Amino acid sequence: MAGNIYQFKAKLNNGQVKSLQEYKGKVLLVINTASKCGFTPQYNGLQKLYQKYQSRGLAVLGFPCDQFGHQEPGSDEQIEQFCSLSFNLSFDLFSKVDVNGPHSHPMFTFLKHAAPGIMGSKRIKWNFTKFLINKQGEVVKRYAPATKPQQISQDIEAQLNL
């Protein structure tokens, strides 16, 4: 699957459709998220990364997903309220998406092919799988759900410095 992430559009949590072209020239961290997951506390670390590197060109994009253990059952509005009240998130939060299967958001299909999982898997195995995208919109690396946001800091720094 050729191209880069800028060829896609996604609906923000508020219903507005956003072209990922708007992020051109930024380093992106794309995550499928959930509000009732054991990894949900990673929202704190993701917000810290965003605050630390936003001025240098990092954008964090959260995509809620309810495909794993029904851990994101709420509406977009409920998800936004939870993230705002519980974690004071200020990075872009998108509308709930599927990341696997026939209704997978095309961007996640692209990400999974560009950076397969363990043993070449083209599936996302759980919430809080993370993808690091360079300033040209190309996938640099995929991180497992258990990878804490602060562990990605060095890779983000390297991309920001290129």
The CATH number for 54's domain is 3.40.30.10
pLDDT mean over 25-45: 96
pLDDT of residue 1 exceeding 60: no
Q: Which amino acid is at 63?
A: F
- Domain boundaries, position 30: 5-160
Tell me the pTM: 0.95
Give residue-wise pLDDT tens across range 53-78: 999 999 999 999 999 999 999 999 99
Q: 109-135 b/e with 16+ CB inside 10 Å = b?
A: ebbbebbeeeeeeeebebbbbbbbbbe
pLDDT, averaged across the chain: 95
Residue 54, pLDDT score:
97
H helical segments located in 88-160: 106-114, 153-160
Residue 121, pLDDT score:
82
Helix axes 42-53, 76-87, angle to 10 degrees: 80
Catalytic entry in 10, 31, 37, 97: 37
Number of domains observed in the structure of the chain: 1
Which pLDDT band holds residue 3 (cuts at 50, 70, 90)? confident
Which pLDDT band holds residue 119 (cuts at 50, 70, 90)? confident
Q: Is 65 a catalytic residue?
A: no
